[in-house]
Copies of this chain bind each other. A is one copy, B any other.
Amino acid sequence: MRTPRTDKVSLHDVAKAVGVSVSTVSRALAFPDRTAPATRERILDVAKSLGYHPNIAARNLRLGHPKAILAIMPNHKMTKISTLMTSAQVGIGQQAQELGYTMNVINMDGTEATASHALELVYGHQVSGTIVMAEPPMSVQDRNLLQVGLPVVSLTEDLTHLGIPSVVSSDRQSMMDAVELLADLGHRAFFFISGPPSSYHSRQREAGVRSGLIRRFGTDADLQKYRADFHVDSGVEAARHFLTLSPRPTAVICWADETMVGFQSVVLAAGLSIPEDLSLISFDGLHVLHYTTPPISTFDQNMGQLGAQAARLLIEMIDQGGPAEAKLIEFPAKLVAGRSIAAPPT
* Stretch in A37-45, A109-117, A158-166, A311-319 with 4+ CB within 8 Å of B: A109-117
Closest residue of chain B to A109 (Cβ to Cβ) is B94
Closest residue of chain B to A5 (Cβ to Cβ) is B64
Q: List 24 A-B contacts (CB under 8 A).
A: A3-B64, A4-B63, A8-B125, A53-B124, A53-B143, A55-B61, A55-B124, A57-B60, A57-B66, A58-B61, A76-B86, A76-B87, A80-B287, A80-B288, A81-B291, A83-B83, A83-B86, A94-B107, A98-B113, A103-B105, A104-B105, A265-B293, A292-B293, A293-B293
CB-CB under 8 A from A126, the residues of chain B are 56-57, 102
Given A107-B94, A124-B54: A291 in contact with B269 (beta carbons within 8 A): no
Which A positions have Cβ atoms within 8 angstroms of B?
3-6, 8, 48, 53-58, 60-61, 63-66, 68, 71, 76, 80-83, 85-87, 89-90, 93-94, 97-98, 102-107, 109, 113-114, 117, 120-121, 123-126, 142-143, 232, 261-262, 264-265, 268-269, 286-288, 291-293, 295
CB-CB under 8 A from A82, the residues of chain B are 83
CB-CB under 8 A from A83, the residues of chain B are 80-83, 86
Nearest CB on B from A23, distance (A): 12
How far is B264's CA from A185's CA once the two chains are assembled, in angstroms? 30
Nearest CB on B from A3, distance (A): 8
Q: How many copies does the complex hold?
A: 2
User: Are A232 and B57 in touch, CB under 8 angstroms?
Assistant: no
Besides A57-B124, A83-B83, A288-B288, 8 more A-B contacts (Cβ < 8 Å) are A48-B142, A53-B125, A55-B124, A80-B83, A80-B288, A81-B286, A85-B86, A93-B105
Contact of A291 among B103, B113, B124, B265 (CB under 8 A): B265
User: Are B57 and A76 in touch, CB under 8 angstroms?
Assistant: no
CB-CB under 8 A from A8, the residues of chain B are 125
CB-CB under 8 A from A64, the residues of chain B are 3-6
Closest residue of chain B to A54 (Cβ to Cβ) is B124
How far is B261's CA from A120's CA once the two chains are assembled, in angstroms? 41
Contact of A287 among B87, B97, B104, B232 (CB under 8 A): B232
User: Are A124 and B56 in touch, CB under 8 angstroms?
Assistant: yes
Interface centre among A65, A105, A123, by most chain B C-beta atoms within 10 angstroms, is: A105
Given A105-B103, A293-B268: A261 in contact with B288 (beta carbons within 8 A): yes
Nearest CB on B from A184, distance (A): 27
Nearest CB on B from A120, distance (A): 7
Given A48-B142, A94-B109, A268-B293: A61 in contact with B63 (beta carbons within 8 A): no
How far is B82's CA from A86's CA once the two chains are assembled, in angstroms? 10
CB-CB under 8 A from A89, the residues of chain B are 105, 107
How far is B63's CA from A5's CA once the two chains are assembled, in angstroms? 9
How far is B200's CA from A213's CA once the two chains are assembled, in angstroms? 53
How far is B80's CA from A55's CA once the two chains are assembled, in angstroms? 37
How far is B142's CA from A56's CA once the two chains are assembled, in angstroms? 18
User: Are A114 and B86 in touch, CB under 8 angstroms?
Assistant: no
Interface centre among A65, A90, A261, by most chain B C-beta atoms within 10 angstroms, is: A90
Contact of A90 among B55, B107, B261, B268 (CB under 8 A): B107
CB-CB under 8 A from A264, the residues of chain B are 291, 293
CB-CB under 8 A from A109, the residues of chain B are 90, 94
